[in-house]
Amino acid sequence: MEETHTMTEATPPVPPVPPTPQVPLSALLAREDLALRQLTGPPADGVYLHTAHTSEMSDPYPYLLGGELLLTAGVHIPEAAGTGTGTYFDAYVARIVEAGGAALGFGLAPVHDTVPRALVAACESHGLPLLEVPPQTTFSGVARAVWQLMAQARLAELRRVTEAQQSLAAAAARPDPVPSVLRQLAQRIGGRAVLYGPEGAELAGAGRLPDEATRSALGNLARLVTARASTATDTAAGTHLSAYALGTGQGFVLGVASPRRDPADHTIASVAAVLLSLLTGEHQTGTGAARSSALVRLLLGAPPEEVAPLLGTTDRWLIVHASPQAGTVPDPVAASALGAALGSPLVDTADDVVRVLVPAGHSPAPHPGWTLGVSAPAAADALAAADTQASRALTRARATRTPLLHHRTRPSLADLLPPSEAESHARTLLAPLTPPLTETLRTWLSLHGSWDRTAVALSVHRNTVRQRIARCAALLGADLDDPDVRMELWFALRWE
């Protein structure tokens, strides 16, 4: 397993490749104006160029950086090189391969009318692509074509990275930010993205891996990052693996498996790592030591009013109850992200409700994908009552389909009835109605019985509204012109 920041001494050094966009050799061969022809070597689709370089040196090694299409007219070839075993060409091609050259282009005329057979044999032996450059094609024209293809690749790379950044940022703003970011990352790299916890367990993932061995290798790489490094790479079964430590000392790791490893993929994964670091990090209003001290004191029996100052700079708090609008059970990471959005790290997840303790100076705002109930400001010794207030506010918010509701200090008739009894009454009263009739009745009552405004709100004809309301009256056996009946139905619809 190879780490990006180390190199084993026994491994021969790999020639560095210039940090430029690579272009496939096949794209250069496809240029009809160049009329290049491949004589030997591996398929052009699997060969990538980083630049073009012209040299007539018998040993081009010192002048190559790696990834070049080396162009030569054969001026350096001695007259006796074409006879015998071709020792000169074998040594020449071996040095190009050793330097990391990607391909060799041999120009016809004015020195050679044909490509030497011994050179073709040497390139075939060493697996180096050999191109024939016709007399009408200049080396400068080939180099210009390479740079044009590189510019196109750079533009495509920048566009891809920009689009990925935008989609990852949008995913981070969703109600389930961590799974959304992982899904976007897996889609953008065409592989799999996994979030590992401090203990090495797979907390969330998206995308697919070719086999279980690759999954195991990615997990091992993540554990290596946690223990020894900030990033690491490896390859398993032809799949490129990368691992990124998230934050400082948090223990979370992003694991990435993809069919390729190029600068754009690395940039996209790095953006995702930064977002996940923010989403999984400790967003806090005080130090971790202070919060730990507060927890210890509570467990040892200290009164809440004594512990409260350790949790922040306020002695009054709001309690927020939140539930996902999709009806799913919130995962701990999504709950932590919600707490960060509300400005507090004090988050608790129980069943389908997330509870957040927020300093009273922070005014919670609606959060996409969540339904929130907020208590009145409370001192540390009144948090139990505030918790009940937040629970009731969340219940009302769910019933009225409101993204956020605050506890009302003014008494309400709804507060006199236990939520379970109110919901049971609403189900029984509205049972005869179908969903379209229920929605029509809800809209009609909210608009004070206006036929025209209800028709506009529901995008139907006003006669359709009249027919539906008449049908509701018949099914319910009620006089919908009676204010008491309307009040009871509205109460039921709020809890339905």
- DSSP secondary structure letter of residue 308: G
Per-residue pLDDT, 228: 56
Per-residue pLDDT, 312: 55
Per-residue pLDDT, 119: 94
Per-residue pLDDT, 12: 40
Of the residues 415, 442, 462, which one is the last residue of a structural domain? 415
Of the residues 364, 381, 415, which one is the last residue of a structural domain? 415
Residues 422, 407 share a domain: no
Burial of 363 per CB tally in 10 Å (0-12, 13-18, 19+): exposed
Structurally, the chain folds into a number of domains equal to 4
Residues 297, 253 share a domain: no
**158 lies in some domain:** no
**Domain range holding 437?**
417-495
Both tokens of 418, joined, read 């236990």
Residues 296, 216 share a domain: no
Per-residue pLDDT, 302: 65
Do the Cβ atoms of 298 and 307 come closer than 8 Å? yes
**162 lies in some domain:** no
Residues whose CB is less than 8 angstroms from the CB of residue 59 and which lie 6 or more positions away in sequence, other chains included: 92, 95
Q: How far apart are CA 24 and CA 455, in angstroms?
A: 60
Residues 409, 311 share a domain: yes
**163 lies in some domain:** no
Residues in the chain, overall count: 496
Residues 421, 396 share a domain: no
Residues 197, 255 share a domain: yes
Residues 301, 374 share a domain: yes
Residues 410, 296 share a domain: yes
Per-residue pLDDT, 91: 93
Q: How far apart are CA 296 and CA 299, in angstroms?
A: 5
**308 lies in some domain:** yes
Of the residues 255, 280, 305, which one is the last residue of a structural domain? 280
Residues 302, 201 share a domain: no
Q: How far apart are CA 292 and CA 312, in angstroms?
A: 12
**164 lies in some domain:** no
Q: How far apart are CA 484 and CA 56, in angstroms?
A: 100
Do the Cβ atoms of 206 and 185 come closer than 8 Å? yes
Per-residue pLDDT, 7: 34
**9 lies in some domain:** no
Q: Cα torsion at 82, 87, 88, 91 (round to 10°)?
A: 150
Give the number of other CB atoms < 10 A from CB of residue 299.
8
**219 lies in some domain:** yes
- One digit per residue, the tens of pLDDT, for the chain of length 496 reads 333 333 333 334 444 545 567 899 999 999 999 999 999 999 999 899 999 999 999 999 999 989 999 999 999 998 776 554 568 999 999 999 999 999 999 999 889 999 999 999 999 999 999 999 999 999 999 999 999 999 888 888 888 888 888 888 888 877 778 888 999 999 999 999 998 887 778 888 888 877 888 888 888 888 888 655 578 888 888 888 988 888 655 678 899 999 887 778 888 888 888 888 877 764 433 445 555 565 556 556 666 666 666 655 456 788 899 988 876 777 776 777 777 777 777 788 776 788 888 877 777 888 878 889 999 888 776 777 888 888 888 877 876 778 888 887 665 566 566 777 778 888 888 899 998 899 899 889 888 888 988 888 788 898 999 999 999 999 999 898 888 888 888 888 877 6
Residues 381, 367 share a domain: yes
**223 lies in some domain:** yes
User: Which regions of 281-411 does DSSP assign to beta strands (E)?
Assistant: 316-324, 347-350, 353-359, 370-374, 378-379, 404-406
Give the number of other CB atoms < 10 A from CB of residue 416.
8
Per-residue pLDDT, 470: 93
Residues 399, 423 share a domain: no
Residues 424, 339 share a domain: no
What CATH number does residue 446 fall under?
Answer: 1.10.10.2840
What CATH number does residue 220 fall under?
Answer: 3.30.450.30
Sequence letter at residue 206: A
